[in-house]
Amino acid sequence: MNPESFPGEHPNMYKSLEENLGNSEVLKSSFSIEDIKKSCTGDEDLMFLYSEMMDCCGRYLEDVCKLAQLDVKIKEENSRELAEERAGADEARRLLHDSTMDSIKILVRNMKQRGKDVDWAKKFNANDRSQYASFAIMASFQEIQRFLKEKEKKNGKN
Amino acid sequence: MEKTNEKKALILDYIRKVSEAARLANDGDTENSLIESAKAEEIAKTLDMRPEQILLEGSRLI
């Protein structure tokens, strides 16, 4: 098995995600994207970098879901075509993982330069890809929750 | 497709759609965000689950 492939790449992360994301309270407590966004508000460059990071995180979550969907399909029907499709999707996810890590590192570096709070990024070890993946997925789940709440509010007004 | 697997696939599809809707809304693409959001709502109806439930179930699948 290719050690870089999903989910073999991050077995501990998936265990941790299962434990943490299963409880929405824990999800809220580890870090808050609202707080990170607040720290960037008022600085055009930081807001741009924040948006870029969140875009990458969202796309990463979507790629992870796509792979998990393919895994479900493969359990039903293990064809060569599906295996090839999965390999392609896994490669796309790996590349997006790299871009997502870069986007997080760039935002952290720029926030540090401007004296902003980057405690949320202290746990990141530059060589541990799984920590970035975990952050990207959790950040995206928080963003989805925010989006749904906002939508509910708008629907309530109409 | 087996019923459980069908449900798993729908949950994962819901997360993809709602995540895309959120990203598009942040990009200012309201029209396409609404389209993806409507697709997600349809999936939620099919699953007969609330969005928060789907997210929690989904987090266990990835």
Ordered by start, the domain boundaries in chain A are 31-157
Q: Which of residues 51-110 of A touch B (CB under 8 A)?
A: 51, 54-55, 58-59, 61-62, 64-66, 68-69, 72-73, 75-76
The distance from CA A101 to its chain's CA centroid, rounded to whole angstroms, is: 10
Look at residue A158 in the predicted model and tell me its pLDDT: 62
Q: Is the dihedral of CA A43, A49, A51, A53 positive or negative?
A: negative
Residue A66: how many CA atoms within 13 Å on its side-chain side?
20
> Any chain B CB within 8 A of the CB of A14?
yes
List of long-range contacts for A88-95, beta carbons under 8 Å, 24+ apart: A89/A63, A90/A5, A90/A6, A92/A63, A93/A6, A93/A60, A93/A63, A93/A64, A93/A66, A93/A67, A94/A4
Look at residue A128 in the predicted model and tell me its pLDDT: 86
Look at residue A66 in the predicted model and tell me its pLDDT: 95
Verify whether the Cβ–Cβ distance A141 to B59 is below 8 Å. yes
Look at residue A31 in the predicted model and tell me its pLDDT: 87
In this structure, the dihedral spanned by the alpha carbons of residues A126, A128, A24 and B13, taken in order and rounded to 10 degrees, is 110
Look at residue B22 in the predicted model and tell me its pLDDT: 97
Of A64, A68, A86, nearest in space to A137 by CA: A64
> Any chain A CB within 8 A of the CB of B35?
no
pLDDT digits (tens, 9 = 90+) for A75-105: 888 889 999 999 999 999 999 999 999 999 9
* Domains held by chain B: number: 1
Chain B hits for A24, CB-CB cut-off 8 Å, are: 52, 55-56
Please provide residue A19's backbone torsions phi and psi, each rounded to the nearest 5 degrees.
-70, -40
Verify whether the Cβ–Cβ distance A65 to B22 is below 8 Å. no
Is ipTM over 0.90? yes
From the CA of B42, how many Å to the nearest CA of chain A? 15
Task: Share the mean pLDDT of chain A.
Answer: 84
Q: Kindly indicate the confidence band of residue B1, based on its pLDDT and cuts at 50, 70 and 90.
A: very low
Contact, B12 vs B61, CB < 8 A?
yes
Q: Check whether A19 has a pLDDT greater than 60.
A: no
Q: Kindly indicate the confidence band of residue A1, based on its pLDDT and cuts at 50, 70 and 90.
A: very low
Mean pLDDT of B9-28: 97
Verify whether the Cβ–Cβ distance A141 to B61 is below 8 Å. no
Verify whether the Cβ–Cβ distance A22 to B56 is below 8 Å. yes
Residues 6+ positions from A10 with CB-CB distance below 8 Å: A129, A130, A133, A134
Residue with tokens 């870089």: A4
pTM of the model: 0.85
Tell me which residue range forms the domain holding B46. Answer: 3-61
Residue with tokens 């999965």: A86
Verify whether the Cβ–Cβ distance A22 to B21 is below 8 Å. no
> Any chain A CB within 8 A of the CB of B45?
no
Verify whether the Cβ–Cβ distance B15 to A145 is below 8 Å. no
